[in-house]
Amino acid sequence: MLNVNKKRSNNNKELSTIRVLFGLWKHLRKKRKIQLFALLLIMLLSALAEVFSLASVIPFLAVLTDTDVLWNIEVIKKISSYVGIDTAEGLFLPVILIFGLAAITAAFIRLCNIRLNHMLAAAIGSDISIESYKRTLNQPYSVHIDRNSSFVITAITTQTDLSVCVVNFTLQLIASLFISIAILITLLITNWQIAIISASVFGMAYLMLALTAKRKLYSNSKYIAQSMKLQLKTLQEGLGGIRDIILNDSQEHYINIFRQIDIPKRQKQAENESLQQIPRYAFEALGLVLIASFAYYLVNISSTRANIIPLLGAIALGAQRLLPAMQQVYSSWASIKSLTASVVDVQKMLNQPINSNHKHNKNIEFNNNINIVNLTFKYKNMIEPVINNISLNIKKGECIGIVGETGSGKTTLIDILMGLLEPTDGKILIDQRNIYEGNKYSLIKSWRSLIAHIPQDIYLADTTVAENIAFGINSNDIDITKVKDAARKAKIDNFIEQTLGGYNSYIGERGLRISGGQKQRIGIARALYKQSKLLILDEATSALDDAFEKKVMDSIYNLDDNLTIIMIAHRISTLSKCDRIIHIKKGKLASIGKPINILPTLSKEKKE
């Protein structure tokens, strides 16, 4: 875990900036693409405003040095006469006003452009973040158990934020590129020799720098992206196991792990930032040297110095505008390159396949039985199947107990039955309909809606008791009567009302303010709130003492006679009132029968 390089992908091929940006473009909504094209028009307008502003410098400086220079131009004289200006001195104020108006207009359009860039980048970021989260939540259960949650969280949060930065930098790059081209065209019109020299010198300097830096920027980018994932993983492990860490006095161990990830990551970030900023100061000095050289050249070829002042002023202002624009093009490119790996990780989230049919249009009924036929399941990268050729028939309204040693396949069987894992072979028939055939998504989603599941480890959100019982339902849509009824059946109502202070009280992150037994009873209430046709308990009462377990189980046994119950338990007493007991051993059906026939044998095996 400490060596980030070992965790990185074996594919070290550098991805081109254009390819990464195009990959992001494919995931944009049509509305955002239209907005981007509209923004391009504003960028062009900003570039034209820069040209107008730069072009207004020449008459402005000409009027300052010699008003007759402008007055002798026939077109200007005619326009001046038309608006009531009869002397060369009369041009002074209008030219100054035009120059000021050009500068203000260019600045205003530029500011609007910058704001629109940021706003559009933020909107795109929201689209990307929401879509990534949506696709992640809609992945099959098998995908979730195969990957680390810290990598997913990093991609959807931090790396999505960095992708927004990439969008912003791309827009800045395009805007600055337009401005650079517009300024160069203006300089070409003003003096083509000087324009070509300037473009060649600065263009080659930035190109050489880009070619030198691109591999380093991309390499650092991959390192930083992987470091962020490992850093979040370390934080989750440290905070998630804080009780044991304090007891074992192992804080320094986790601090060292964090330190060994954080320091190199920040050094790489510093390298990338340096590569983005260094050219600015070096090339500013080069620009001043070029302007001085141009001044010397113009003085030598001009008969009067008064004639070259407007030209030199326009070139100097053009260079003053051109250098920051070219620097912005380069620094934006470098920033994009330094964040490429983060964008690639976000694209992986966006490329996750998702079923477009979010509503199950094929309803499945459970009126008769569940028939498990020759069921086999094998996890990826495992040699032996976890479930091996199990066949079983469960009638509606039955209470079935499942027993077996740890690792025998009990929970896997339940996951397949709930439609979370697709079997390697075999069928799950609900009233003779195979939920894994045909339009699987539609049938499975319909089947899941009939199931309530109570796991051994109950997840509780940092919200109210009522919202935890009516889990996943908008607070305005919660039926508080159903909540209280479910709590009463789970034998948790007195604790909620007398100790916690009511159903609107908060229970802390992951339910840290309540005991394990209380968490499980809230989990049981959550399942009962759903009022499903199939109730599945996976070691759901393991944290309860014998007295409370008896009360809770009596309540569950006395629920609707049409409710089918399947429970996994290690306590023999928990299963005593089941209709049948299923004994699974090493993934196979070892025995099945009435509790009176199965439980004594199991009890004897445990003692031995």
Give the pLDDT confidence of 550-582 residue by residue, as tens digits: 777 777 777 777 889 898 887 777 788 888 998
Q: Which of 83-92, 323-332, 410-419 has the highest mean pLDDT?
A: 410-419
Per-residue pLDDT reduced to its tens digit, 451-490: 888 887 788 888 888 988 888 888 888 899 999 988 888 8
E runs forming strands in 512-586: 534-538, 564-568, 580-585
Name the 3-class secondary structure at 378.
coil
Residue 317 sits in which domain range?
15-350
pLDDT above 80 for 538:
yes
Buried (b) or exposed (e) across 279-288, using 16+ Cβ within 10 A? beeebeeebe
The distance of Cα 543 from the centroid of its chain, to the nearest Å, equals: 36
**In the prediction, which pLDDT does 393 show?**
92
Residue 214 lies in a domain: yes
> Quick one: average pLDDT of 409-430?
90
Residue 159 lies in a domain: yes
Residue 431 lies in a domain: no
CATH of the domain at 81: 1.20.1560.10
C-alpha span between 242 and 259 (Å, rounded): 18
**In the prediction, which pLDDT does 1 show?**
42
Q: Which of 14-18, 71-75, 337-341 has the highest mean pLDDT?
A: 337-341
Per-residue pLDDT reduced to its tens digit, 505-530: 887 666 667 777 788 788 888 888 88
Per-residue pLDDT reduced to its tens digit, 386-406: 999 999 999 999 999 998 888
282-291: long-range contacts, CB 8 A cutoff, minimum separation 24: 283/202, 283/205, 283/206, 283/323, 283/326, 283/327, 284/323, 286/201, 286/202, 286/205, 287/202, 287/319, 287/320, 287/323, 290/197, 290/198, 290/201, 290/319, 291/315, 291/316, 291/319
- Contacts with 413 (C-beta within 8 Å, 6 or more apart), sequence order: 375, 387, 390, 402, 584
Residue 5 lies in a domain: no
pLDDT above 90 for 356:
no
Per-residue pLDDT reduced to its tens digit, 283-307: 666 666 666 666 666 656 655 555 5
Residue 136 lies in a domain: yes
Q: Is the pTM of this model over 0.85?
A: no
Residue 407 lies in a domain: no
Q: Looking at the 3D structure of the chain, how many domains does it have? A: 1
pLDDT above 50 for 12:
no
Quote the tokens at residue 132: 């990534």
Name the 3-class secondary structure at 427.
strand
Residue 579 lies in a domain: no
Residue 592 lies in a domain: no
- Residue 432, by phi and psi: left (phi above 0), alpha (psi -120 to 50) or beta? left
Across-strand partners of 554? none
**In the prediction, which pLDDT does 2 show?**
43
Quote the tokens at residue 107: 């600045």
